[in-house]
Every structure is written in structure tokens, then in C-alpha cells.
């Protein structure tokens, strides 16, 4: 918008922000801050349409009509795993839990909550369970702490809030009020192997935090696009294999953080502007390392 383009955002959510609103808890990303940042963008003259799902990107570009498109589909779909469960078992995924925190009614988890997974989302789910009143929030992860993908600071903060970690463990069976947990051990390659040693722990709810992926159905039939391992391949200028369609954030190969997503947006905007003018973006020099006096 600051480069003089007319910009439209279509967002399938009822409120803007995507995974920042629906995938990151408010205690980590305060909603008043998020709303203020979004409003700054809209004040530049950007048009926002919420509850507006793009089902076919080429059709949306033609209908616009638009000269270019930037896709930033978040990883809203939870990966599932087969866990034998009784009929009365309360099993849900972490993304549904976190999304439910934005609604009028808070999710009901009960007093004993088990989270299955070892990433940052698992930590978010366990800490959210605590905030919902759970007396026990236990994270079950099949490898050890050193191999846990969650950032060390997230693990430490969860421990400080009373979350219990069960490393080298896997969920074998989900019952209506308890779980059967099997102890694991790592083989010489670091892969967890079952030991046959099991224990039963109380659980009113089981929250699955086993990873996420982006819904790429809006790209069906688009020629030139290359999708590998659930993410869209992009060139250095953030353009996909289809001319004029750019992509960033969770749906391209990169770390799935707010920082990376924002960086992709800025990078793509410069490259879209250059592409529309038939130019290339000059490589920006790296910033100097920030010394202590520059830290806020």
C-alpha cells in the first residue's frame, strides 16, 4: 500500500489475524496489540474482507481482477494420529482448543488434562489448560527433553506454571477417565522404541499436539506449482511456480513463527512491486549486529 498499490485482503476467519489470533494464546500475543497492528495496516487504505474464503486462487484473481496475489495460508489443520479410544473419551486437537479460546464459551477440559506432543503448540495447550482451571496438565512426549522441538524457554515457563512433563512416553489407549501410557526408550539412532512397560494416569481430556499443516485446496489445478511435504516451493523472490502468484508464511518451507511470517510479507511486497514493474529487487545489505545499547 505504501508503494502505491491498491491492496485487498481476504480472510476466512471471522476476525483478522489468522494463526496469530487463532493459534497463539492471548497471554503470549495480547489481542489489543494485535488489533492495533492490524488497524495500522487498514489505516493505509487496505481493504479487508473477513469470513471470505478463497476456494480457487485463479478464479479469485480473475474476478478481482488482480495483477498479483500473495498467499499466506496459515497451518490451521491439525495432524492426526490413530489412538485407540473409548466412546466416552474426550479427545481434541490443540488447534481446536486454542481457536476455542477466541469464542464466547471457553472449552471444557476437566481437571486432569494430558497433552500429547513436544512442540511449542503442545506447551501452549498445556499452559492454556492450566489457565482453564486444570489441576493437572501433563505433557506426554515420546523422546527426551534434549530432542523436544519446543523452545527451551517455552518448556521452562510451562514447568514454572506447574505443567508436568512425561518424557520418553507415548499414549497407548484413551479411556473415558484415564489414559494408558507406555514407557519408551531411544535406540542407537535416537528413535523411540516401546518397552512394554505401561502405567495408567487419570485424564478427563486428551489434547493432540502432533503438528499442523496448511489447507492448500485453493491451489488445486494451478499449473507450475510445486508442493513438497505439504508446503509450496517458492523462488528467491517469493513467487511460486505460477507467474504472479506469490506465497509465504506457514505454507512455504520455513520456520513457522510470527517473525518469519512478517518478514515474508515485507519481502513479498517488495518483490511483487518489482515484478509488476518488470524489475528485480536489489539485494539489501545485511544490518549490522545490534549491540546491547540498541536492545529495547
- C-alpha to C-alpha distance for 115 and 141, rounded to whole angstroms: 9
Do the Cβ atoms of 204 and 198 come closer than 8 Å?
no
- Write down the pLDDT at residue 146: 92
- Write down the pLDDT at residue 164: 97
pLDDT (average), residues 86-102: 89
- Write down the pLDDT at residue 296: 77
- Write down the pLDDT at residue 285: 79
Do the Cβ atoms of 107 and 97 come closer than 8 Å?
yes
- C-alpha to C-alpha distance for 172 and 158, rounded to whole angstroms: 24
pLDDT tens-digit profile of 201-246? 999 999 999 999 999 999 999 999 999 999 999 999 999 999 999 9
pLDDT (average), residues 181-185: 96
Between CA 102 and CA 109, with CA 108 as vertex, the angle to 5 degrees is: 115
Q: What is the DSSP letter of 205?
A: E
Global pTM reads 0.88
- Write down the pLDDT at residue 128: 97
- C-alpha to C-alpha distance for 263 and 248, rounded to whole angstroms: 9
pLDDT tens-digit profile of 8-62? 999 999 999 999 999 999 999 999 999 999 999 999 999 999 999 999 999 999 9
Amino acid at each position: 500500500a505504501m508503494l502505491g498499490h491498491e491492496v485487498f485482503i481476504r480472510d476466512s476467519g471471522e476476525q483478522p489475524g489468522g494463526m496469530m489470533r487463532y493459534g497463539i494464546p492471548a497471554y503470549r500475543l495480547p489481542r489489543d496489540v494485535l488489533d492495533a497492528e492490524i488497524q495500522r495496516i487498514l489505516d493505509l487504505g487496505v481493504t479487508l474482507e473477513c469470513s471470505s474464503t478463497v476456494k480457487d486462487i485463479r478464479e479469485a484473481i480473475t474476478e478481482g481482477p488482480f495483477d498479483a496475489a500473495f498467499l499466506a495460508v496459515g497451518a490451521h489443520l491439525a495432524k492426526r494420529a490413530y489412538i485407540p479410544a473409548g466412546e466416552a473419551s474426550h479427545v481434541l486437537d490443540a488447534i481446536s482448543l486454542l481457536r476455542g479460546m477466541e469464542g464466547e464459551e471457553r472449552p471444557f477440559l476437566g481437571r486432569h488434562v494430558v497433552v500429547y506432543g513436544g512442540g511449542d503448540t503442545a506447551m501452549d495447550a498445556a499452559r492454556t489448560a492450566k489457565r482453564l482451571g486444570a489441576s493437572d496438565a501433563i505433557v506426554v512426549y515420546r523422546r527426551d527433553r534434549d530432542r523436544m522441538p519446543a523452545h527451551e524457554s517455552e518448556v521452562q515457563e510451562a514447568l514454572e506454571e506447574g505443567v508436568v512433563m512425561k518424557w520418553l512416553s507415548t499414549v497407548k489407549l484413551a479411556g473415558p477417565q484415564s489414559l494408558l501410557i507406555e514407557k519408551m526408550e531411544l535406540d542407537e539412532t535416537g528413535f523411540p522404541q516401546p518397552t512394554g512397560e505401561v502405567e495408567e494416569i487419570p485424564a478427563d481430556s486428551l489434547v493432540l499436539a502432533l503438528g499442523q499443516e496448511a489447507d492448500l485446496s485453493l491451489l488445486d489445478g494451478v499449473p507450475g506449482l510445486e508442493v513438497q511435504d505439504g508446503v509450496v516451493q517458492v523462488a528467491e523472490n517469493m513467487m511460486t511456480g505460477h507467474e504472479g502468484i506469490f506465497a509465504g508464511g506457514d505454507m512455504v518451507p520455513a520456520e513457522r513463527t510470527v517473525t518469519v511470517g512478517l518478514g515474508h510479507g515485507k519481502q513479498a511486497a517488495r518483490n511483487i512491486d518489482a515484478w509488476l514493474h518488470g524489475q528485480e529487487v536489489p539485494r539489501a545489505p545485511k544490518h549490522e549486529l545490534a549491540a546491547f545499547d540498541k536492545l529495547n
